[in-house]
Amino acid sequence: MKPFDYIRADSPDQASDHAAQGGVFIAGGTNLLDLMKLEVMTPDALIDINRLDLNQIDETDDGGLRIGALVSNSDLANDTRVRRHWPVLSRALLAGASGQLRNKATTGGNLLQRTRCLYFYDRAMACNKREPGSGCAARDGFNRSLAVLGTSEHCIATHPSDMAVAMRALGAEVETLTREGETRRLTLDQLYRLPGDRPDIETVLAPGELITAVVLPAPVEGRQTYRKVRDRASYAFALVSVAGIVEMQDGRIARADLAFGGLAPKPWRDADVEAALQGEAPSDALFKKAADVLLRDAQGFGENDFKLPLARRTLVSVLEELTEARR
C-alpha cells in the first residue's frame, strides 16, 4: 500500500474541501481498503467522515425516509420502518453481504462501491476503468459475471450493489453537498454514468462532492420482493437480481416498479418494461413479453451469454410471485 495522509473531518465543508484536493472519503472502508492494498486506488489522502452527523434515519414530511449517508447497512436493513414499508430494501441489504460487512458498510459507501470485475482488480491486465485507454481484457476473457446491458466497447463491468437496485426500484434520490456548499438532489439514474468511452468516470459527482443522505419517497401500495440469483447462497454478488413492486387492481397490474442488478454498469431500470405490464392481466405471455422488452438490446460476450435466459426466467418468476399468478 502506498503512503497516504489521514485526515479526520469535523464538518462536511472541511471534508469536501480536502477531497477536492485529491483526497478520498472513507467511512466503513469495506471496498476502498481492499483496492488500496492492491494499489488499484492510490489516493494521496483519506478523509475520515465518521465524525459527521450523517448517521440518522428520519421521517420526511411526505411520509418518506431520509437516510443519512453514514447509516450502516445493518441498521438500515433492520429498521422497523424499512422492514414494514420498504421491505424490498431490507431484503436487498440482507442479501448483499456478510453480517460483519453490513455492520461496517455505509449507505453512501454502498452506492459508490467499485465493480468486482476481475480485470479491474488485476493490475497486470488491461482495464479502461482502472487505466483509461489500456483496453478491456474482459470482453474476450472470463466475463461470466459481467454486463449484458448498457455496455460499450470500452467496458462491460457490472455495478455490484444490491441496495442500489432496490433503491432504484423505489425511486430514491441522493442528496449531496458540493464543495461550494450547495445541496444537490439526484435520482440514481442521474447519479450513475454508463461507461461510454470513459468507464473510469462512474458518477456525475464533482471533485469534493459528498453524499449526505438518500431520500426514500412515501411507500406505495403493492407487494414487494427482491430476488437474487448467485453462485452460492452465502456472500456472493448477483448474477441477476430483480427488485420489484407491483400493485394489483381488479385483477390487472395497476403499477409495476422494477429494477435489475447483475446485468449492467449501473442499477438498471427500463420504463418500457413497466409500461408493457401496466393495465394488463397477469399471464405467462405477458411476463415473457416484458422480458423481451428488457433484453431487446442485450448482448452477451461468451462466458456471460447464460445471463440472457437467466434474466428472462428470473423476471417471469418474480412477476408470478408479485401478481400471485400461476402458470
- Asked whether the CA dihedral 100, 106, 111, 117 is positive or negative, the reply is negative
User: What pLDDT, on a 0 to 100 scale, did the predictor assign at position 88?
Assistant: 98
The pLDDT of 272-280, averaged and rounded, is: 98
CATH code for the domain of 16: 3.30.43
- CA end-to-end span of the chain: 55
Per the listing, cell 489521514 goes with 6
Instruction: Examine residue 162 and state whether it is found in any structural domain, yes or no.
Output: no
Q: What angle do CA 110, 40, 207 make, to 5 degrees?
A: 60
- Residue 147 within any structural domain of the chain: no
Query: Per the domain annotation, does 142 fall within a domain?
Result: no
Q: What is the mean pLDDT of residues 33-53?
A: 96
- CA 209/CA 102 separation, integer angstroms: 24
Identify the domain containing residue 25 by its residue range. 5-50
pLDDT tens string 164-215: 999 999 999 999 999 999 999 999 999 999 999 999 999 999 999 999 999 9
CA-nearest of 43, 41, 69 to 55 is 69
> pLDDT per residue over 245-264, tens digit each?
999 999 999 999 999 999 99
Helix, strand or coil, per DSSP, at residue 101:
helix
At 114-168, the pLDDT tens digits run: 999 999 999 999 999 999 999 999 999 999 999 999 999 999 999 999 999 999 9
Average pLDDT score over residue span 269-276: 98
**Structural domain includes residue 45:** yes
How many CA atoms does the CB half-sphere of 123 hold within 13 Å? Answer: 8
Residue 325 scores a pLDDT above 80: no
Identify the three-state secondary structure at position 193. coil
Cα atoms in the 13 Å half-sphere on the side-chain side of 198: 6
Domain end call among 33, 50, 67 = 50
Q: How many domains does the chain have?
A: 2
* Domain membership flag for residue 304: yes
* Dihedral angle of Cα 125, 44, 56, 77, to the nearest 10 degrees: 20
Whether residue 298 is contained in a domain is answered as: yes
Please give the Cα distance from 91 to 244 (Å, whole number).
11
Q: Which helix (H) or strand (E) holds 263?
A: none
pTM as predicted:
0.96
- 246 assigned to some structural domain: yes
Which pLDDT score is estimated for 229?
Answer: 97
Q: For the chain, what percent of residues have pLDDT higher than 70?
A: 99
pLDDT bracket for residue 59 (50, 70, 90): very high
